[in-house]
């Protein structure tokens, strides 16, 4: 009878998928998206045409494995860097003057702190000294997910340190994130929850990346981007990261 | 091994059958169908508790009576809801003094025990400032009044649980945990009718605790505050032993007691006691830690309605500044000897909290929201972004957009639009009643006439909104009639068959066929007429409280069949269901036929079906008898038999049911903890939680033509699911198809435009519905791998534009703004945009590509039949728009060619220092030409350059393309002039091509190191 009870418990727990540690889940996620092949990736260039009511705005996002990045849009034939980090400074273009301006010091410092997170902070959490905790299982829009809290040290807001926490919802069937959440810590939306939903995962150079992401505020409208191309280790105009000399 | 295999097989079968049984449980398939909140917040709603951070004035928490927990991080300017997934009735919110940045405790269940109070479901904790919550037990305590945490030990926590209001319960008293809430011990218990109404801890000595115990009980028909068991207790050993404080405390029966310690001098303790003798009611002060007490003051402001206002607060740094909750709230600066009223604000004050960092800053919780004062309470400002409105009811009209009508707890009666320019703002709501508001109805065919009522039908009004004429139209007792008994929330409704007909329920059904001017009684007393439940004068206990809230043995719901005016169903608050099939001539009591329903259970709502005269649903609410079972019944034979259709998936009591008008198997239920939906006639229910908090839903209404499900929530205002048709169209076979479209109506091109809203930055603005084309489809599984995209295609197969597609499991949405693609604009400096034009009426196709599969849905776009524009007008507009698009793109191509040649000439120039003169001339000519065609200098603000041809064409294009009527003669003349200018430019470029460019080409042919420019064709350029 005792053995029977043991078997029942064993069968149930294996069927229910209990006992998955956060290490196992993150490891499965990492393997699913390409695992060690990410070590060979030094840059990722993503292009999209953002549709604003029928107006197509070409978008190019480049992320480097050293943390540098830029986002460029092409508007009326003009290329505009709307956000960039050159490794030291974060900057953007003022849409009134169309000139580059440095972002607040907090933004640059936060970008510097995040500069080793490529391709993403969850899969490198141990290496980065972050902590990941399995919060439980939760259904996201009807799909069963593991909820993982990633604590990334602190983030600066108005010169003050704040907890830097992200939540990842990993699809239990496919082991890729469907949703990432974090609290907005600054500005008028402070206290609300930012959400990014991921889909359209596809293989590029042996690694798996989401070709679609939808960003918004929880409970409110969102804007999605459908990437047309994602290129790994391609040609990158290094000058675009740098704050232009005036 | 064989046995193990068999066992595994059995387990597998269990899982398979489980899966099959739940395959149509709606919960997994709501997808991206979500609710929107329209508030309003102008009257906000009842707030039960306030908690301020001890060291950071920016952090403010509030617990709402029915609207959850909200947090401000900017000193109370803006608030965010942080408790949507849990019980919205809040008793107490407490920050851990050891970790006030992150650790909060929430005790659910409001302690201000009015008749409409909700119930709690235990205590919760967050360790991260409200992002994640864990339930920590005490589920059966019903309402938690106080949480006290040892400032030196976060694991040691005391909870004052008031307990059940509507019946006996042993789950009340003072609880203590020493392991951070893993386990709880009840350390002070009096009896099953006496709970802990307040618990305070000496901040300088956490072993010293004061507890107020209150003997109380409410029934549907009476309220009692007070008894011999009410008392004040003190412990000096962390709750191990308790001593009743009696020296100077009134003897005999006592009612509710407020108690508070002066943080700056913990020996000083204040108590406000509801005593048996009038002269002993009031404020008491102890200066020796509760050993002796001295009566100070029995002012009205201190003694009024103790059950509702028993909270006293002492200033953190001054023991003589105290504030007492009450009808208006009052403050003393002389240690309680004298009081003055707080500044003007909404009445009924439940909590007052002083800021510990800013001496004159305080917050006040009222029946009408949260107020903040920066001058010690003299002037008060309301926080305008807390949509906590507590609706009792909602009705709808047939306007476009439709309006919602409803009454609120202590906040009058209102109507407001379901859509408004810029969002639904405070100014959009119109006041149509006073007092506590309940049922509000528009006249069915003339929405300028609105009926409303106040508590206990003290008044029923007919209000002509346009003429601002107000008439009281309530039915009165006729000669020989007994006193008419109206419920606090009196039954009032209009007829579906006779526009001028009104029904009102007392214990009788009253009918008016002249909009309330005259009334006929068409029933006998339909209640149990139990005299023992009609002694409201004696209600209140030690403090009389005969407000009408306990009126009983009344008709609560009247449901006229939508199929015939002869059938009326009536439900009473004492548990009767009565039916007439002959317009009120005869009545049949069918209550006894409802098997499984306890006697005298409040009939809260009857829904007469649209699918058959003999079909009806009845919902009963037993919570006023301490029974939280959901009672939902259906009859298909005029009440002869009833079938229970509630399942355990609905885990609390319910108040309302709404039938779907097209699918008889789809039903919507309003429960104390949210909205539930069944797809199979009640075999399985699922909570709808997509932007729908776990809030009490008091009433549901389905718009018959807009298909919007509108919920009157008692704490989060009006919440709308705009179109429930996808829900009622989910079919089991959709689970086996990769993608299934739902049916779509033809779409009307929206022609309205406006300048947006006027709400200030910190006012709540309700979400608008989408006015765009919405196509929905069903995915059996979330789309995760591979591309999935959408496009709109016209009848010729030409792609109009791309659209975002939903990729969730279940219902998904595509929204199309009726736009084609925007024209390609010439490159230049600045943002001279040309938005996409609207499409014309006609057939289109939504095409979704998912991996290798393509799915198509035909869409029909039509013009607004009420539009003032003729087809001829539209054709003129479309012709002009097309011409302008051609001009914009021709110009873009012209500038492109200029740029290409200019770039090549510049390249040549850099390579050949001795350039032929005409290369310089070419560059000059190209530059001059470009400068006349597009802006090339300046910025996008006041440094902008003069408009050139691009900017001028784009401006007239924007004007013409965004209007649906014919262009004016001056607009057409402007187009002609610009067209001529463009043609001249094209001709001029043609000359340059024939002369200088031709010569330049000859130069290039001589220098093979420089490539000839590859000028794209016009078509290629547009595709680029």
Q: Does A219 touch chain B (CB under 8 A)?
A: yes
Nearest alpha-carbon partner for A81 in A244, A246, A245:
A244
Q: Does B7 have pLDDT greater than 70? A: no
The mean pLDDT of B263-285, rounded to a whole number, is 98
Residues of chain A found within 8 Å of residue B767, distances taken between Cβ atoms: 220
| CB nearest B835 (choices: A53, A188, A226) | A53
Strands A207-217 and A193-204, by their bridges, are antiparallel
> Which residues in chain A have their CB less than 8 angstroms from residue B804's CB?
51, 214, 224, 226
CB contact under 8 A, A95 and B8: no
Q: At what angle do helices B871-911 and B949-961 cross, to 10 degrees?
A: 160
pLDDT beyond 70 at B570? yes
Contact in structure between B637 and B588 (CB atoms under 8 Å)? no
Question: A32 falls in which pLDDT band (50, 70, 90)?
Answer: very high
| Helices B998-1006, B917-933: inter-axial angle, 10-degree rounding | 130
Report whether pLDDT(B18) > 70.
no
Look at chain A and count its residues. Answer: 246
- B803: Cα separation from own chain's centroid: 28
Q: Are B325 and B342 in contact (CB under 8 A)?
A: no
| Strand ranges of the sheet holding B123-126, from the earlier edge strand across to the other edge | B90-95, B104-108, B123-126, B134-135
B891 SS3 class: helix
Cis peptide before B40, with omega less than 30 degrees from 0?
yes
3-class secondary structure per residue, B236-282: CCCCCCCEECCCCCCCCCEEEEEEEECCCCCCCEEEEEEECCHHHCE
* Residue A1: inside a domain: no
The neighbouring-strand residues paired with A226 are: A212
Q: Which domain covers residue A160, as residue numbers?
A: 20-239
B822 with B777: CB under 8 angstroms?
Answer: no
Mean pLDDT across A113-132: 96
The reply to whether A226 touches chain B by the CB within 8 Å rule is yes
pLDDT at B24: 64
Using the predicted structure, report yes or no on whether residue B3 has a pLDDT greater than 50: no
Percent of chain B at pLDDT exceeding 90: 93
SS3 state of residue B382: strand
Q: What is the DSSP letter of B390?
A: B
Give per-residue burial for B913-948: e unless 16+ CB within 10 Å, then b: eebeebbebbbebbeebbeebbbeeebbeeebbeeb
Domain assignment present for residue A177? The answer is yes
Binned at pLDDT 50, 70 and 90, residue A19 comes out as low
Give the Cα separation of B640 and A177 in Å (integer). 54
Q: Is the pLDDT of residue A3 over 70?
A: no
Q: What's the pTM?
A: 0.94
B68 interface with A at CB cutoff 8 Å: no
**What pLDDT does residue B1008 have?**
85
Is residue A178 helix, strand or coil? strand
What average pLDDT is seen over chain A?
91
pLDDT band at B14 (very low <50, low <70, confident <90, very high): very low
Which pLDDT tens digit goes with each residue over B447-459? 999 999 999 999 9
The sign of the torsion formed by the CA atoms of B11, B17, B21, B24 equals positive
Integer angstrom CA distances of residue B400 from B463, B773, B866:
21, 16, 12
Listed by number, the residues of chain B in 775-794 with a beta carbon closer than 8 Å to a beta carbon of chain A are 781-789
Mean of the pLDDT values across residues B268-292?
98
* Angstrom distances, CA of residue B991 to CA of B671, B920, B925, B926, B997: 78, 17, 11, 12, 9
pLDDT for the residue numbered B448: 95
What is the SS3 assignment for B172? coil
B807 vs A15: CB contact, 8 Å cut-off? no
Strand runs labelled E in B421-554:
430-433, 441-442, 449-453, 460-464, 469-472, 492-494, 502-505, 509-512, 520-521, 540-541
pLDDT tens per residue across span B838-889: 999 999 999 999 999 999 999 999 999 999 999 999 999 999 999 999 999 9
Q: What is the mean pLDDT of residues B956-969?
A: 96
Digit-coded pLDDT (tens) for B285-342? 999 999 999 999 999 999 999 999 999 999 999 999 999 999 999 999 999 999 999 9
pLDDT in tens, B204-253: 999 999 999 999 999 999 999 999 999 999 999 999 999 999 999 999 99
Pick from B936, B921, B940, B932: nearest CA to B894:
B932
User: How far does the CA of residue B957 sit from the closest CA of chain A (Å)?
Assistant: 15
> Does the pLDDT value for residue B911 go beyond 50?
yes
B32 touches chain A (CB under 8 A): yes
Torsion of CA B63, B64, B66, B68, to 10 degrees: -50
What is d(CA B207, CA B288) in angstroms, rounded to the nearest whole number? 16
The predicted-structure confidence for B595-652, as pLDDT tens digits, reads as follows 999 999 999 999 999 999 999 999 999 999 999 999 999 999 999 999 999 999 999 9
CA distance readout (Å), B562 to B240, B567, B603, B667: 63, 9, 20, 17
H-type alpha helices, B331-378: none
Q: What pLDDT, in 10s, does the model give residues A211-239?
A: 999 999 998 888 899 999 999 999 999 99
| Of B32, B691, B820, Cβ closest to residue A54 | B820
By CB atoms closer than 10 A (0-12, 13-18, 19+), residue B832 is buried
What structural domains does chain B harbor? 44-85+342-377 (no CATH), 395-726 (2.130.10.10), 758-862 (2.60.40.10), 872-1023 (no CATH)
pLDDT at A7 over 50: no
**Residue B810 DSSP SS3:** strand
Which sign does the torsion angle of CA B1010, B1011, B1015, B1021 carry? Answer: negative
DSSP three-state, residue B787? coil
Contact A54/B at CB under 8 A: yes
Euclidean distance between CA atoms B421 and B621, whole angstroms: 39
Beta bridge partners, A194, equal A182, A217
Query: Is residue A8, in this structure, part of any structural domain at all?
Result: no
- Output the DSSP codes for B717-739: -EEEES--HHHHT--GGGGGSS-
pLDDT at A11 over 70: no
Pair of tokens at residue B117: 């109070």
Is A3 among the domain residues? no
Q: What is the reported pLDDT for B16?
A: 32
Whole-angstrom distance, CA of residue B723 vs CA of residue B704: 11
pLDDT digits (tens, 9 = 90+) for B803-846: 999 999 999 999 999 999 999 999 998 888 899 999 999 999 99
Average pLDDT over chain B, rounded to an integer? 95
Residue A7 in any domain: the answer is no
Q: Which two tokens stand for residue B714?
A: 């008692």
- Whether residues B833 and A76 touch (CB distance < 8 A) is answered with yes
The sign one gets for the Cα dihedral B16, B18, B21, B22 is: negative
| A5 found inside a domain | no
Q: Is residue A10 part of a domain?
A: no
Please tell me the distance in Å from B820's CA to the nearest CA on chain A. 6
Percentage with pLDDT > 70 across chain B? 97
Which of B850, B676, B683 lies closest to B777, judged by CA? B850
Rounded distance, CA B307 to CA B229, Å?
A: 16
Q: How many CB pairs under 8 A join A and B?
A: 148
| SS3 annotation, B90-128 | EEEEEECCCCCCCCEEEEECCCCCCCCCCCCCCEEEECC
- Give, in order, the Cα–Cα distances in Å from B930 to each of B746, B794, B893: 46, 36, 12
pLDDT above 70: residue A12: no
Could you identify the residue written with the tokens 């979400």?
B767
Residue B367's alpha-carbon distances to B308, B349, B392, B766, in angstroms, are: 10, 7, 15, 21
Q: How many CB atoms lie within 10 A of CB B260?
A: 20
Task: Choose the mutation target among B53, B807, B1023 for the interface with A, i.e. most A CBs under 10 Å.
Answer: B807
Q: Angle at Cα B286 formed by Cα B283 and Cα B292, nearest 5°?
A: 110
Q: What CA–CA distance (Å, rounded) separates B182 from B178? A: 8
| Nearest CB neighbour to B71, from listed A51, A191, A200 | A191
Q: Is A97 on the interface with B (CB under 8 A)?
A: yes
CA–CA gap between residue B212 and residue B194 (Å, rounded): 10
Give the containing element (helix H, strand E) for A160.
strand A160-171
Given a cut of 80, whether residue B67 has pLDDT beyond it is: yes
Three-state DSSP class for residue B907: helix
Phi, psi of A81 (to 5 degrees): -80, 115
For residue B176, list its beta bridge partners.
B158, B185
Using the predicted structure, report yes or no on whether residue A196 has a pLDDT greater than 50: yes
CATH number of the CATH domain containing A29: 2.50.20.10
> Shortest CB distance from B786 goes to which of A96, A163, A202?
A202
Which pLDDT value is given to residue B955? 97
pLDDT(A246) > 80: no
Cβ of B784 and A190 within 8 Å?
no
Euclidean distance between CA atoms B879 and B960, whole angstroms: 10
**Averaged pLDDT for residues B978-1004:** 95
Nearest to B25 by CA among A145, A139, A171, A142: A142
Long-range contacts of A121-127 (CB under 8 A, 24+ apart): A121/A150, A121/A152, A121/A166, A122/A26, A122/A29, A122/A148, A122/A150, A122/A166, A122/A168, A122/A177, A123/A26, A123/A29, A123/A30, A123/A33, A123/A38, A125/A26, A125/A150
Count of residues making up chain B: 1024
- Let me know: does B35 contact B684? Beta carbons within 8 Å: no
Contact B661, B649 (CB under 8 A): no
- Partner residues linked to B217 by β-bridges: B224
Q: Report the domain count for chain A.
A: 1
The answer to whether residue A5 scores a pLDDT higher than 50 is no
Q: CA-nearest residue of chain A to B23?
A: A142
Residue A234 resides in a domain:
yes
């Amino acid at each position: 009878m005792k053995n029977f009870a043991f078997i029942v418990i064993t069968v149930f727990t294996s069927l229910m998928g209990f006992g998955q540690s956060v290490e196992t889940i993150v490891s499965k996620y990492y393997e699913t998206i390409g695992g060690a092949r990410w070590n060979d990736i030094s840059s990722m260039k993503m292009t999209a045409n953002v549709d604003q009511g029928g107006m197509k705005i070409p978008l190019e996002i480049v992320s480097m494995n050293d943390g540098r990045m830029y986002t460029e849009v092409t508007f009326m034939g003009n290329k505009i860097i709307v956000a960039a980090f050159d490794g030291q400074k974060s900057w953007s273009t003022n849409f009134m003057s169309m000139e580059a301006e440095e972002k607040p010091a907090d933004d640059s410092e936060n970008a510097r702190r995040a500069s080793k997170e490529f391709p993403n902070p969850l899969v490198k959490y141990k290496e980065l000294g972050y902590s990941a905790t399995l919060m439980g299982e939760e259904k996201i829009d009807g799909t069963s997910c593991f909820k993982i809290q990633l604590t990334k040290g602190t983030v600066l807001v108005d010169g003050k340190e704040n907890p830097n926490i992200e939540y990842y919802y990993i699809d239990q069937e496919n082991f890729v994130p469907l949703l990432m959440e974090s609290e907005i810590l600054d500005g008028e939306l402070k206290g609300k929850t930012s959400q990014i939903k991921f889909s359209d995962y596809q293989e590029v150079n042996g690694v798996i990346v989401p070709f679609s992401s939808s960003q918004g505020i929880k409970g409110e409208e969102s804007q999605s981007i459908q990437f047309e191309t994602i290129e790994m280790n391609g040609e990158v105009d290094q000058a675009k990261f740098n704050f232009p000399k005036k | 091994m064989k046995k193990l295999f068999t066992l595994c097989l059995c387990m597998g079968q269990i899982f398979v059958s489980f899966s099959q049984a739940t395959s149509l449980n709606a919960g997994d398939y709501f997808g991206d169908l979500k609710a929107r909140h329209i508030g309003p917040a102008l009257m906000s709603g009842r707030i039960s508790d306030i908690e301020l951070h001890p060291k950071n004035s920016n952090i403010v928490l509030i617990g709402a009576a029915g609207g959850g927990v909200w947090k401000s991080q900017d000193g109370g300017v803006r608030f965010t809801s942080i408790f949507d997934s849990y019980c919205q009735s809040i008793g107490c919110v407490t920050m851990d003094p050891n970790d006030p940045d992150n650790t909060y405790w929430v005790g659910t269940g409001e302690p201000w025990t009015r008749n409409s109070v909700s119930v709690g479901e235990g205590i919760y904790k967050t360790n991260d400032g409200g992002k994640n919550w864990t339930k920590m037990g005490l589920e059966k305590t019903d309402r938690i009044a106080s949480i006290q945490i040892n400032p030196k030990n976060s694991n040691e926590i005391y909870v004052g649980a008031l307990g059940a209001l509507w019946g006996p319960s042993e789950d009340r008293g003072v609880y203590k945990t020493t392991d951070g809430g893993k386990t709880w011990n009840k350390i002070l218990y009096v009896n099953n009718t006496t709970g802990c109404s307040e618990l305070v801890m000496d901040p300088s000595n956490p072993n010293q605790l004061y507890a107020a115990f209150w003997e109380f009980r409410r029934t549907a028909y009476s309220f009692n505050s007070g008894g011999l068991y009410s008392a004040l207790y003190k412990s000096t050993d962390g709750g191990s032993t308790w001593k009743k404080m009696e020296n100077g405390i009134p003897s005999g029966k006592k009612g509710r007691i407020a108690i508070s310690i002066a943080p700056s001098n913990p020996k000083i303790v204040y108590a406000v006691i509801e005593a048996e003798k009038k002269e002993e009611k009031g404020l008491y002060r102890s200066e020796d830690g509760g050993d002796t007490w001295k009566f100070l003051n029995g002012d009205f402001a201190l003694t009024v309605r103790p059950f509702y206002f028993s909270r006293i607060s002492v200033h953190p740094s001054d023991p003589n500044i105290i504030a007492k909750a009450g009808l208006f709230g009052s403050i003393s600066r002389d240690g309680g000897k004298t009081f003055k009223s707080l500044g003007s604000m909404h009445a009924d004050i439940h909590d007052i909290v002083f800021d510990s960092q800013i001496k004159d800053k305080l917050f006040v919780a009222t029946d009408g929201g949260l107020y903040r004062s920066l001058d010690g309470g003299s002037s008060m400002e309301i926080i305008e972004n807390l949509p906590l409105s507590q609706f009792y009811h909602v009705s709808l009209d047939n306007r476009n957009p439709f309006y919602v009508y409803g009454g609120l707890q202590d906040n009058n009666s209102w109507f407001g639009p379901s859509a408004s320019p810029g969002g639904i703002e405070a100014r959009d709501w119109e006041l149509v009643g006073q007092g506590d508001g309940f049922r509000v109805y528009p006249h069915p065919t003339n929405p300028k006439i609105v009926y409303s009522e106040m508590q206990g039908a003290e008044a029923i009004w007919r209000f002509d909104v346009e003429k601002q004429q107000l008439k009281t139209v309530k039915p009165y007792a006729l000669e020989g009639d007994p006193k008419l008994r109206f419920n606090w929330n009196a039954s009032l409704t209009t007829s579906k068959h006779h526009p001028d007909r009104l029904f009102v329920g007392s214990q009788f059904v009253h009918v008016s066929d002249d909009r309330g001017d005259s009334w006929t009684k068409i029933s006998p007393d339909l209640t149990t007429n139990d005299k023992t439940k009609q002694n409201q004068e004696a209600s209140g206990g030690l403090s009389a409280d005969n407000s009408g809230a306990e009126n009983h043995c009344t008709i609560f719901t009247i449901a006229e069949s939508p199929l015939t005016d002869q059938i009326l169903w009536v439900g009473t608050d004492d548990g009767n269901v009565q039916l007439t099939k002959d317009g009120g001539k005869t009545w049949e009591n069918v209550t006894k036929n409802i098997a499984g329903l306890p006697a005298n259970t409040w009939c809260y709502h009857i829904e007469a079906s649209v699918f058959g005269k003999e079909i009806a649903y009845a919902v009963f609410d037993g919570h006023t008898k301490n029974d939280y079972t959901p009672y939902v019944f259906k009859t298909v034979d005029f009440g002869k038999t009833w079938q229970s259709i509630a399942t355990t998936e609905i885990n609390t009591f319910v108040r309302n049911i709404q039938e779907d008008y097209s699918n008889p198997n789809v039903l919507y239920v309003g429960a104390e903890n949210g909205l539930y939906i069944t797809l199979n006639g009640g075999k399985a229910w699922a909570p709808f939680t997509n932007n729908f908090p776990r809030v009490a839903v008091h009433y549901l209404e389905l718009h018959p033509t807009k298909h919007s499900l509108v919920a009157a929530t008692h704490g989060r205002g009006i919440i709308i699911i705009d179109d429930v048709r996808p829900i009622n169209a989910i079919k089991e076979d959709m689970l086996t198809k990769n993608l299934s479209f739902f049916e779509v109506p033809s779409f009307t091109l929206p022609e309205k435009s406006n300048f947006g809203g006027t709400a200030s930055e910190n006012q709540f603005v309700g979400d608008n519905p989408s006015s765009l084309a919405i196509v929905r489809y069903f995915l059996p599984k979330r789309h995760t791998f591979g591309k999935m995209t959408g496009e709109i295609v016209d009848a010729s197969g030409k792609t109009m534009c791309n659209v975002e597609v939903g990729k969730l499991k279940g219902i998904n949405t595509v929204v199309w703004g009726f736009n084609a693609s925007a024209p390609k604009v010439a490159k230049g400096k600045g943002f001279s945009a040309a938005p996409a034009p609207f499409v014309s009426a006609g057939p289109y196709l939504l095409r979704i590509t998912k991996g290798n599969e393509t799915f198509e849905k035909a869409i029909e776009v039509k013009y607004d039949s009420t539009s003032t524009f003729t087809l001829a007008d539209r054709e003129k507009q479309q012709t002009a728009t097309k011409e302008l698009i051609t001009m914009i793109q021709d110009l873009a191509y012209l500038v492109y060619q200029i740029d290409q040649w200019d770039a090549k000439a510049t390249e040549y120039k850099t390579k050949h220092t001795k350039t032929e003169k005409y290369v310089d001339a070419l560059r000059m000519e190209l530059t001059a030409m470009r400068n006349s065609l597009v802006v090339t200098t300046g910025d996008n603000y006041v440094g902008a350059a003069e408009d050139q041809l691009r900017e001028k064409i784009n401006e007239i294009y924007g004007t013409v393309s965004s209007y649906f009527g014919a262009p004016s003669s001056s607009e057409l003349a402007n187009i002609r002039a610009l067209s001529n200018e463009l043609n001249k430019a094209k001709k001029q470029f043609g000359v340059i091509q024939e002369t200088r460019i031709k010569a330049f080409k000859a130069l290039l042919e001589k220098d093979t190191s420089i490539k000839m420019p590859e000028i794209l064709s016009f078509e290629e350029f547009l595709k680029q």
